[in-house]
Structure 1
Amino acid sequence: MTALIGLATTIGLALTLLTAAAPPAAAADLLSQGKPATSSSTENASTPTSAAVDGNTGTRWSSTFSDPQWLSIDLGATAAISQVVLRWEAAYARAFQIQTSDNGTTWATIYSTTTSTGGAQTLDVNGHGRYVRFQGTRRGTAYGYSLWEFQVYGSGEDTPPAGDIPDPTTASLEAADGPLITATCTVPGPTGYGSGTVTYPTNSGSYPGVVLMPGYQGTQQNLQWLAPRLASWGFVVINVGTNTLTDDPASRGRQITAAGTQLLALGDTTGNPMSGKLNGTLGAVGHSMGGGGVMAALRDDSRFRAGVPTAPYYPNVNFSAVTDPTFFLTCQSDPVAHGDTYAVPWYNSMSQAEKLYIEVPGDHLCPMTGSGNKAKQGKWIVSFLSLWLRADTRFSPFLCGPVRDADRNNTSLVTRWMDTCSF
C-alpha cells in the first residue's frame, strides 16, 4: 500500500509539473481596431461608421431607423476569426448575423440570433475571411442600430497574398513591365460605358480588378501606359473609353462602377479570358475628370477598396465621406486642376482614410501616357494598389520608411509629399 501511495504521489507530481510547463494557449488578437469600415447608413455626422472601430467606448455608430442595416470591417488580410464583441448602446439588434467574406461580395454566416437583448455581447465563433460584417435584420427598439464598438478577434493566417509575385525591388518596380506575363482582349458589348480593353495576367489564379478612367476629351490612350504595368504585377485592368468625350466627373464615376460590375461579371462567366481571374476586390485610377470620377466611385460604391485620382478635377464637391485608401498624384504647374484647388482640400477632409499625396513637376498632362516620370509614377501606383487591394505588405517600404526617402527628398522629382504612414 505504501508503495502504491508513493507511486501515485510521483505520478501526480509529474502531471503537475507537466501541466505547469505547458505553454498557455495563444491569445486572440484584436484585428478590427482602426481598420476601414463601411455601413449601409449612418444616423447623422456625429455617429459615423468609423466610431465602431476606433477603440473609444464614448463614440458610436448609429444607423437610420429602418431594417435591415449592416456594418462591415475590412481587416486588410484574410484571418481566422475566433471571437466577436458587440458593445451596444440602448438601440440594439434583436435579430442579427455575423458574416465573413474573402472578397466583400460573397458572405458566409458564422453566428445568428433572433433573441438578442443587447448590452455587451461576446460571441465565440469559428470563421475566416478578410471582411467581417454585422447584418441586422430586426431592431430591438424604434431607433436604429447603435454600437459603441464592434470588435473582431482572431489571428492572421499568414498566407502569401500573391504567391506567384516575387519580392519587389526598386529596379523591378521602376521597369516598364512586372514579373507576370500578360495578354489583352476587348470587352464584348460594354454596358454603361463606351469601350473597354482588359489587360490581365495569363497565370492561373485570381486577382483584384482595376478600372482606368480618362479625363475630359480623353480616350483609352490617356492611361494606356499603366495597364500593362499593373497587370504584370497581379491585377486585371480594364482601360475604359467613355460614352462621350465630354462626360462630366459624376458620369465618369458611374461609368467606373459600370465597368467594375462588368469586369466582375466576366470573371464569373465561363468562356472568356477573364473567367476565374477576378477575386471580387476593385480599385480605380483616373485622370482629371476621371480622377474626380474615382473619388465618386470610392464614395458611392463599397466594392471599390482603393483609388488613385491623378490631377483630379471635380468642382464644388466634398469628399470627406471617403474612407478608402486614396493616393492623390498631382502636377506642380497644373493650370486646370492644381492640387491646392481640389486634391489637397479633399486629402485634408478625409479624416478616416489612409492617404498618400505626391506632387511632381509638370502640367495637367503629367500622369498621362508620354508625359512625366513613368518609372516613378508606376512604382508608386503599383505599390499603393498592391498594398491596399491585395494586402501585400512587401510593397509598403516603397511608400513609407527609409526606402521611399530617396524619392521624397529629391526636389527635382517630388515637389510635395504628404502621407498617413506608417502603412
Structure 2
Amino acid sequence: MQQHPHSSRRRTRRFAGLTAAVAALIGLTTLTGPGAHAADNPYERGPAPTNSSIEALRGPYAVSDISVSSLSVTGFGGGTIYYPTSTADGTFGAIAISPGFTAYQSSISWLGPRLASQGFVVFTIDTNTTVDQPDSRGEQLLAALDYLTQRSAVRGRIDSSRLGVMGHSMGGGGSLEAAKDRPSLQAAIPLTPWNLDKSWPEVRTPTMIFGADGDTVAPVSSHAEPLYSGLASSLDRAYLELNGATHFTPNSSNTTIAKYSISWLKRFIDNDTRYEQFLCPLPRPSLTIEESRGNCPHTS
C-alpha cells in the first residue's frame, strides 16, 4: 500500500521532536550532574566524597611509585614518589612530606599511597641528615617540590601551581618554615609539630595543625597550640588535637589524620568545596578527637 506523504512527514517531525527532547534531557542531566561542578572547578578530581571514601585505606585512584636516590637530587635526601597511575584526569596537585628528628621517610610512608590514591602526587622524603632542624627541613621540602615539578619522571602529571607540604615533629615545624618561605603554597599540615619559633604572622598558606593529647616530646601546650595561635587569625587555619594519642601517632596508619588531611588538601590544593562539609562545622570531640579549633566557613 502506498504511504501517504503527509503521514511520513508527520512521523519525521515527531521523530525530530523526540530526538530534540532526548538531547535536551541529556543536556539537562549533564548540566545538573557531576560534570557541571567539575566545569566550575577544573582542579576537582575524583568522585563526590563521603565519610567512608575519605576514611578508606585507599581512594579511587590506582597508585604507582618511584624510588628517588639521594645521589640523583640536590638539597634533600631523596625519597619515594607516589602518584595516580592513570593520566585520564590530567594533572594533579602535589605534596612533599618530611619525617621528624632522627627519623627516615619510612616513618611517614603510609601517607604516600593513602593520599595519592585520592588524587595527588605525594613525595615522602628523607632529609640530608636525620638531625636536621626545622628551618633546614623547610628548605628541603621546597627543594623536593622543585625536583618534583622540574626534574622528576612524573613532572608532566603535576600542576606546579597546586603544591602543599606536610611533616611530622621537626618536619612539621619544617612545613611551617616552608609555608613562610613560599607563600604560593596552597596547603600545609604540621603533624605533632616541633618548632621553637611560635610566631607565624607571615604565613599565607592555609594550615591545619595536628596535636596529640599525650605528646610528651612536643607537648601541645608548648608546640602545637602556640604554633596554631601564632598564625594570623584571618588565615584559613585549623587545630585538631588527637585523643588518646602520642607524639608518634602520625608514624602509623591513622584514619583521623588521613580523613582530615585529605579534606584539607582537597579543599585548598584542589579548591574542591565538596570537602568543606568534613571541615566545617568543626569536628566534634569523639573517641579520636580531643578538641578542634578553626575558622569556619573558609574564606579562600
Extract structure 1 runs of 4+ deviating beyond 2 A.
159-163
1:257 equivalent to 2:142? Answer yes
The separation in 1 between residues aligned to 2:78 and 2:186, in whole angstroms, is 23
Gaps of 5+ in 2: 1-37
What residue is the counterpart of 2:15 in the other structure?
Answer: none
What residue is the counterpart of 2:291 in the other structure?
Answer: 416
Aligned partner of residue 228 in structure 1, secondary structure: helix
What residue is the counterpart of 2:3 in the other structure?
Answer: none
Structure with greater helix percent: 2
Normalising by structure 1, we get a TM-score of 0.58
Summarize the alignment of residues 68-87 of structure 1 with structure 2, pairs less than 5 Å apart.
Answer: none
What residue is the counterpart of 1:207 in the other structure?
Answer: 92
The separation in 2 between residues aligned to 1:393 and 1:320, in whole angstroms, is 26
User: Which structure has the larger Rg?
Assistant: 1
1:400 equivalent to 2:280? Answer yes
1:348 equivalent to 2:229? Answer yes
Q: Contact 1:328/1:356 (CA < 8 Å) preserved in 2?
A: yes
Aligned partner of residue 250 in structure 2, secondary structure: coil
Matching residue within 343, 359, 369 for 2:252: 369
What residue is the counterpart of 2:170 in the other structure?
Answer: 289
Shift of 1:375: 1.6
The separation in 2 between residues aligned to 1:237 and 1:363, in whole angstroms, is 25
What residue is the counterpart of 2:26 in the other structure?
Answer: none
Query: Per-residue CA shift, 1:315-370, capped at 9, x if unaligned?
Result: 14421211211000011011111222122222223223111111112111011125
What residue is the counterpart of 2:29 in the other structure?
Answer: none
Query: Per-residue CA shift, 1:246-286, capped at 9, x if unaligned?
Result: 1111110110011011011036xxxx3x0411101210110
Query: Per-residue CA shift, 1:7-59, capped at 9, x if unaligned?
Result: xxxxxxxxxxxxxxxxxxxxxxxxxxxxxxxxxxxxxxxxxxxxxxxxxxxxx
Normalising by structure 2, we get a TM-score of 0.81
Aligned partner of residue 293 in structure 2, secondary structure: strand
Shift of 1:187: 2.2
Matching residue within 99, 102, 107 for 1:222: 107
Summarize the alignment of residues 91-240 of structure 1 with structure 2, pairs less than 5 Å apart.
Answer: 158-163=40-45, 165-188=46-69, 189-204=72-87, 205-240=90-125
Q: Contact 1:221/1:369 (CA < 8 Å) preserved in 2?
A: no
Question: CA 1:324–1:275 in 2, change beyond 3 Å: closer, same or farther?
Answer: closer
Aligned partner of residue 177 in structure 1, secondary structure: coil
Q: Contact 2:149/2:155 (CA < 8 Å) preserved in 1?
A: no
What residue is the counterpart of 2:127 in the other structure?
Answer: 242
Aligned partner of residue 329 in structure 1, secondary structure: strand
Structure with greater strand percent: 1
Shift of 1:222: 1.4
Q: Contact 2:93/2:121 (CA < 8 Å) preserved in 1?
A: yes
Matching residue within 344, 359, 368 for 2:241: 359
* Corresponding letter in the other structure for 1:305: Q
Higher relative contact order (CA 8 A, sep 6+): 2
The separation in 2 between residues aligned to 1:248 and 1:265, in whole angstroms, is 26
* Corresponding letter in the other structure for 2:264: F
* Superposition RMSD in Å: 1.7
Q: Contact 1:306/1:326 (CA < 8 Å) preserved in 2?
A: yes
- Between the two proteins, the alignment pairs up a number of residues equal to 254
What residue is the counterpart of 1:331 in the other structure?
Answer: 212
The separation in 2 between residues aligned to 1:421 and 1:197, in whole angstroms, is 35
Aligned partner of residue 362 in structure 1, secondary structure: coil
The separation in 1 between residues aligned to 2:296 and 2:213, in whole angstroms, is 23
The separation in 2 between residues aligned to 1:308 and 1:320, in whole angstroms, is 16
Shift of 1:157: 6.5
Query: Per-residue CA shift, 1:43-77, capped at 9, x if unaligned?
Result: xxxxxxxxxxxxxxxxxxxxxxxxxxxxxxxxxxx
